[in-house]
Structure 1
Amino acid sequence: MPLSSDIQAFQAVLRESKTIVALAGAGLSAASGIPTFRGAGGFWRAHNVIELATPRAFRADPGRVWQFCHYRRELMKAAKPNRAHLALAMLSVPEHLQRIAPNAHFTLITQNIDGLSTRALQQLDQVVKAPVIEMHGRLMDTVCTVCGERRPNDDTPIFPALADTDSLFTDHGGARIPLEQLPRCSGSCGGLLRPGVVWFGEDVLHGERVDQLVGEADLILVVGTSSTVYPAAGYARRVFERGGTVVIFNAEPLNEDEADNEKEHRHFYFTGPCEETLPLALFGAELGTELGGT
């Protein structure tokens, strides 16, 4: 089956779907002002990932890693959910989902750590039984390196020594912060706190649940991600190989060589900013233009 960008054909498949999973990546939040990791001007291109986003980096210089995360936390706190976040949030609300997929169950799995998908649900003033699965954690959480307790924390800054370090980090790579000034667990263990995200080399969160959901899905929406990093890279292929439908929403078009390869395990491919293409494809022109957000 050749790749298609036919919205009506996609919506016909959507109506017959029973178990829908969306896998979201950094492109979902690009319109909210969160830089993507690997795209043009991607965030990781300005910094050495191995020095900043691994357990080894945190052990070597936790203060520098916390400065990097503080800089990113401030970006994320200032951001707002965009139309693509809101469209996916609407799928999590039964009354909206039933309009376009009457017999379906939907789950959103995100690789993003910005919390914007959860905030989109809150913006819709909805409480759903199946919350967003944040497989890479959330930057607004902390995790104790001793007892493992995870807590939300959106303080600015998260500890006093981070105040006024933004320019130092962006211009000079960071300032040296003594270990005794770093945040500690409020429990009896007093352990050093780390950002509540999954770093390179660590296992994703909720991995067994994600595997189960992907294994049951007859339709997967891959939104704003190139799906080049495992385990996420294998999810679309697994759905395809089970006879399910794979739908891609990506800002970048496939080049000729990629298109030949991607036909092996994808059905629909919608090119353009996902905050434009996703609401339109899911809900049509009327709702697509009425959605709020950025």
Structure 2
Amino acid sequence: MVLLEKLSLFNMEHFRKLYNKNEDAYTCNKSFFEIYDEEHFLIKYLIRKQIKLFKVNKEYIGYIWYEYPSQSGLSNIYAIYLKEEYMDMINAKMLSFFKRTTFRYDMIASSRNSNIMKKLNFNVNSKNILMKIKTTNFSNVIKDRIKFRHFKEGQDEELRCEIQNSVFNDKNRIPLTIEDVRREEAEEYYINNFGVFIYNNQGQVVGYGQVIYNKGLYTIVNLGILKEHRRHGYGEVLLRYLINICKQNSINNVYIRVDKDNLKAIALYTKVGFKEYQSFVSWYKYIN
């Protein structure tokens, strides 16, 4: 039987050995110990609460690294690891310790990873492609009369919410709130002045997009044009503008993530110069 044990000072070295064996552990923009070792004792205590160790008898065989659930109960998993010789012991009961949590885990697509998630009773939520462009040879041409304005903290949170909630309107999506945006501004992945509104020649805001530094990659996210202003080329213009911002800031590689079935978006990104870099699968599991 596989048991879960909290990470503590007493089993820290066991976790460190497991972590160093896991080639897939670096799923964040920093490794666990790059984060942990830099903090003082109180923050270290809080970080340790994000780790549960898998244990059989007296042997530590793996771990799960996850974030605290949000108000909606969603928790992102950063890494799951189990020693190869214990793979047959994987089952849904390993996560029964958690109560009323929805887990999300983005993994590189592979048959091994799929097998693990199926044994844990996760379901596929979406399949995505991570695309990459090099900025060194990128040249940007701005159309006349199209204006841009960079996001200002403490001023534009409401406008951003209005645009994103309209662009990404879906019955299964929790609406973005001003508080959500403010929390994002405090996150390590957030880059000040890398959020952009695009306007038409009548001075109307028609879309928004931004660049973040996520998992070690400069990534374009939240790119969207309001429905009534689509098919006028604004999406391509905004995309090119965001790439150019990165180039001007000496960022050589820029990434964007897209649903595998979103052929129109893939065609646009390819036209601009993006190429497929990796395939990902987003897995979900609800624990009642």
TM-score, length of structure 2 as denominator length: 0.22
Query: Which has the larger Rg?
Result: 2
Greater fraction helix: 1
Greater fraction strand: 2
TM-score, length of structure 1 as denominator length: 0.22
Q: Which has the higher contact order (CA 8 A, sep 6+)?
A: 1
